[in-house]
Structure 1
């Protein structure tokens, strides 16, 4: 497992966190995410900071999610869903699902295009800087991805190379298929693809169970088990075995 680490430094344009909580002092965040398709992505993000800043993070709207993705001057279009997982006085955890992304370029879209959709992202955001770690099976396409990112950056954002090398043991564990049983992965991918997690839902559990030819009670159990593992592993400070969310569409899923 390989990793490509780099920073995006926002020098003459507001960084995503500055736009989100501009008057609340220092806000930082850490997230993991991945691709479902070339224009569809998910992310779990944990924000830290003062209470007023966290209130703004908890109420984040779809416009911010899309502008936070773009690295070009052109604005991103697409559909997004955000769900508040947990909020305390010091932290706020959100789940995002973004699809039909177009009109711009982002780290996620460029990685999916040049490296492939079987990638995982870890992002650490500070007020004016983002540290990206893109994890992949091998380095094929990384050179093109590297070039595309630098060409696509809008004025005011500086690219700072970190390293390309072997991924750490903890990050390698993010890719481990054993972390989430295949039937749970397949159910979760199908549910995301068919709009089960949209608000309002685009498909009911009964309809999804019919499409998958899976009993409703069994499908419900698989989804709840996968969601629980995903949320708990991300919420665990310093967890060594973050559970893997589906990274790609499964063959034959619907």
Structure 2
């Protein structure tokens, strides 16, 4: 198995969700699930951020012309459904579903066509950048898929291949979050979830320490140790940027 990570960068006016996220940089969207068949696509996404960003994002999702993940800019005639599953001041969970027509397609549909069944999808959106992670078979033709995606995206978005690596269960991955001591791992995960690493930060160190009910010095120490471990392992990792960009 391999993981393939790439990103789309939408131009202004080509995607309403990207436009909202660009205008609200502290609002992000992460997929909770994403499923595809040749005829349809359905997914659940979780957005977090300030109330103004969440309100604007919900409005974008509810636009009649919006069809989640469809790469066709004009009206494709697809039957789309959007339903809000959960809503608070700083969080939005949305379910979207659509049936394809003869003219519409999406990243998951192209992946299904070129890479085969049994794919796992994970997405993350911030600003105009839409990052995809696909777990797929080792012999899947990545080049053919990426070329076809470029043809469908056209001029409405830029594309960047980020990494293509083997998933080897026997490989010792010192740089994984799971390899950290439990205190460092839970602290780091909490910091990410609460926006400590976002720009600008949604929470500062003192506020995060209060939420986690630990001394500020202890929190700072755990984060520094976790960051040092991950950074050191990343530099020593065999998956160099050169290998990723050359497709080796």
Task: Name 2:234's counterpart in structure 1.
Answer: none
Q: Which has the larger radius of gyration?
A: 2
The residue that corresponds to 1:219 in the other structure is none
> What is aligned with 2:85?
85
Judge conservation of contact 1:32–1:45 (CA < 8 Å) in 2: yes
Please give the alpha-carbon distance, in whole angstroms, between the structure 1 residues aligned to 2:168 and 2:84. Answer: 29
The question of whether the paired residues in 2 share the 8 Å contact of 1:80 and 1:98 is answered with: yes
Higher alpha-carbon deviation: 72-81 or 105-114: 72-81
In structure 2, C-alpha distance between the alignment counterparts of 1:16 and 1:123, rounded to whole Å? 17
Residues 1-254 of structure 1 aligned to structure 2 (within 5 Å): 1-11=1-11, 13-20=13-20, 26-59=26-59, 60-61=61-62, 63=64, 65-66=66-67, 68-167=68-167
Contact 1:111 1:145 in 2 (8 A): yes
1:22/1:144 CA distance change after superposition, 3 Å: closer
Given the superposition, is the C-alpha separation of residues 58 and 37 from structure 1 closer, same or farther in structure 2, using an over 3 Å criterion?
Answer: same
**Total equivalences in the alignment:** 170
**2-structure distance, mates of 1:145, 1:54:** 33
User: Matched residues in 2 for 1:30 and 1:6: separation?
Assistant: 15
Kept in 1, the 8 Å contact 2:31–2:43? The answer is yes
Q: Aligned-pair distance for 1:12?
A: 5.2
CA distance in structure 2 between the partners assigned to 1:64 and 1:168 by the alignment: 42
User: What per-residue deviation string (whole Å, max 9, x for no partner) do you get for residues 150-169 of structure 1?
Assistant: 12222141111111123498
Instruction: Name the SS of the counterpart of 1:38 in structure 2.
Output: coil
Pairwise CA distance, 1:86? 1.6
Residues 97 and 72 (structure 1), Cα distance of their counterparts in 2 relative to 1, 3 Å cut = closer
- SS across alignment from 1:77: coil
Deviation at 1:137, TM superposition (A): 3.2
How far did residue 35 of structure 1 move?
Answer: 3.3
Q: CA RMSD in A?
A: 2.9
Retained in 1: the 8 A contact 2:34–2:44? no
Deviation of 1:95 after TM superposition, in Å, equals: 1.7
SS at match of 1:131: strand
Assess, with a 3 A threshold, how the Cα gap between structure 1 residues 95 and 12 changes in structure 2: closer, same or farther: closer
Give deviations 1:34-88, integer Å, cap 9, x for gaps: 334112112110112221331243453264541x423344443322222222222
Report the CA distance between 1:31 and its aligned residue: 0.8
| CA-CA distance at 1:130 after TM superposition | 0.6
Distance in 1, Cα, partners of 2:147 & 2:133: 16
Q: Using structure 1 for the length normalisation, give the TM-score.
A: 0.57
Contact in 2 for aligned 1:35/1:117 (Cα 8 Å): no
